């Protein structure tokens, strides 16, 4: 065995959902992780998944139940791409067997369930991370540096995010994301997770004062959300003002998002500051796997007679040596390895990000249930 194999974090995939194929591929591209096992509800399904993904002759262990893989002592960590309704059961079971947990989003049906998962991970000393891959792309760090520059970007005023795709009829009829017993949050959980997460990222994960869903939510006959929108509001504390403003001034930040299974593909993020604005058109999944870009427009004004702008968008391109999903697995595996080898505690940043995203998602759902009334956090 190569000495490097002893350094790699051994990952088991619990469930053979379509998205598991992507993680199966990128684990092979990740230098500090290796696929150790795959478990499904039946051994035949696990074997079929292995054959489809070129694993049949690789020595990857195959199991016909989720229980077997979370109990396998040779597995260090698990990736869980299960229906959201099963997350709390199997994430808690994995943590209790000392497995580090990479959990597909949405991570839970509500914050109460997520807290059970996070408590199990914390009490067993295992790392938790959700599967929001765009956070690990180098483009995200580049944008963060720009937003954090008060001279270039200024005060954060407004954020807009959309996450949509036009699902075919068979998806709307039979996909687990429209089934109330499997993924009852529908588009809000599946796509809204990206939008809410991107807005919170833009504001530095400061929770909003209030959240209000916008009217005209679209649901299927079972009551699962197919499309919805919401607004989020912040009263920023003194100290966030522009230099020319009085110290007592209160600046307000507003954000809106739209998520839908019934609209053309969009993964937009717009962040508007007092000195400049950022625009992204492919946030969650870049147009190309090995590169991504964003546009920044600095200090734009209308020219004389208002016949044009004084500044044009500046495009910044960012290369990525490996896919963002592989970067996510690499970061996760690095944290796991530090816990195992150095005795470090789990990194708290990732569960905190997930919990804040879930809190806002819950507030949007509550606002919808209350007839679009504001919900205060």
Q: Which helix (H) or strand (E) holds 88?
A: helix 87-96
Q: What is the pLDDT of residue 2?
A: 47
Percentage above 70 pLDDT, the chain: 94
**For residue 176, is pLDDT > 60?**
yes
What pLDDT band is residue 11 in, cutting at 50, 70 and 90?
very high
Q: What is the pLDDT of residue 240?
A: 47
**For residue 154, is pLDDT > 90?**
yes
**Does residue 121 share a domain with residue 29?**
yes
Interval 113-137 mean pLDDT: 98
Residue 115 falls inside a structural domain? yes
Residue 368 falls inside a structural domain? no
227-264 pLDDT, tens digit per residue, is 999 999 999 755 444 444 545 456 799 999 999 999 99
**For residue 300, is pLDDT > 60?**
yes
**Does residue 139 share a domain with residue 124?**
no
Task: Name which of 16-20, 73-77, 107-111 the model is least confident about.
Answer: 16-20
Backbone φ and ψ of 323, nearest 5°: -60, 155
Sheet holding 128-130, edge to edge: 61-63, 33-39, 9-14, 77-80, 100-103, 128-130
Interval 98-116 mean pLDDT: 98
Identify the domain containing residue 199 by its residue range: 135-322
Total structural domains within the chain? 2
Q: What is the pLDDT of residue 237?
A: 58
Q: What is the pLDDT of residue 250?
A: 67
From 251, 260, 253, 322, select the one nearest 291 (Cα to Cα): 322
Rounded to an integer, what distance in angstroms lies between the CA atom of residue 225 and that of residue 175?
Answer: 13
**Does residue 143 share a domain with residue 39?**
no
**Does residue 159 share a domain with residue 17?**
no
Residue 371 falls inside a structural domain? no
Interval 82-103 mean pLDDT: 98
**Does residue 149 share a domain with residue 16?**
no
**Does residue 289 share a domain with residue 153?**
yes
pTM: 0.94
Residue 369 falls inside a structural domain? no
**Does residue 189 share a domain with residue 124?**
no
**For residue 57, is pLDDT > 80?**
no
**Does residue 282 share a domain with residue 144?**
yes
């Amino acid at each position: 065995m190569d000495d490097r194999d002893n350094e790699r974090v051994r990952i088991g995939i619990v469930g053979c959902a379509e998205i598991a194929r992507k993680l199966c591929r990128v684990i092979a591209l990740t230098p500090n992780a290796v696929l150790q096992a795959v478990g499904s509800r039946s051994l035949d399904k696990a074997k079929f998944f292995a054959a489809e993904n070129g694993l049949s002759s690789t020595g990857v262990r195959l199991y016909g139940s989720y229980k077997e893989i979370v109990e396998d002592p040779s597995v260090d960590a698990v990736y869980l791409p299960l229906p959201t309704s099963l997350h709390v059961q199997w994430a808690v079971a994995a943590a209790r067997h000392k497995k580090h947990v990479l959990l597909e989003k949405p991570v839970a049906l509500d914050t109460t369930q997520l807290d059970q998962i996070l408590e199990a991970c914390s009490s067993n000393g295992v790392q938790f991370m959700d599967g929001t891959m765009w956070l690990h792309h180098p483009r995200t760090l580049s944008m963060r540096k720009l937003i954090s520059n008060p001279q270039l970007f200024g005060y954060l005023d407004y954020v807009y995010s959309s996450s949509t795709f036009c699902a075919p009829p068979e998806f709307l009829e039979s996909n687990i994301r429209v089934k109330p017993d499997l993924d009852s949050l529908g588009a809000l959980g599946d796509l809204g997770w990206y939008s809410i997460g991107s807005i919170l990222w833009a504001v530095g994960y400061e929770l909003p004062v209030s959240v209000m869903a916008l009217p005209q939510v679209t649901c299927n006959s079972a009551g699962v959300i197919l499309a919805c929108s919401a607004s989020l509001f912040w009263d920023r504390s003194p100290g966030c003002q522009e230099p020319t403003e009085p110290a007592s001034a209160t600046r307000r930040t507003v954000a809106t998002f739209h998520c839908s299974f019934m609209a053309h593909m969009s993964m937009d993020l717009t962040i508007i500051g007092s000195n400049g604005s950022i625009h992204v058109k492919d946030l969650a999944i870049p147009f190309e796997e090995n590169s991504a870009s964003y546009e920044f427009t600095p200090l734009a004004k209308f020219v004389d007679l208002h016949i044009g702008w004084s500044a044009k968008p500046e495009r910044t391109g960012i290369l990525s040596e490996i896919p963002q999903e592989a970067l996510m697995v690499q970061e996760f595996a690095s944290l796991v390895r530090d816990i195992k080898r150095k005795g470090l505690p789990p990194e708290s940043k990732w569960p905190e990000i997930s919990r804040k995203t879930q809190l806002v998602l819950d507030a949007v759902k509550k606002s919808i249930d209350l007839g679009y009334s504001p919900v205060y956090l």
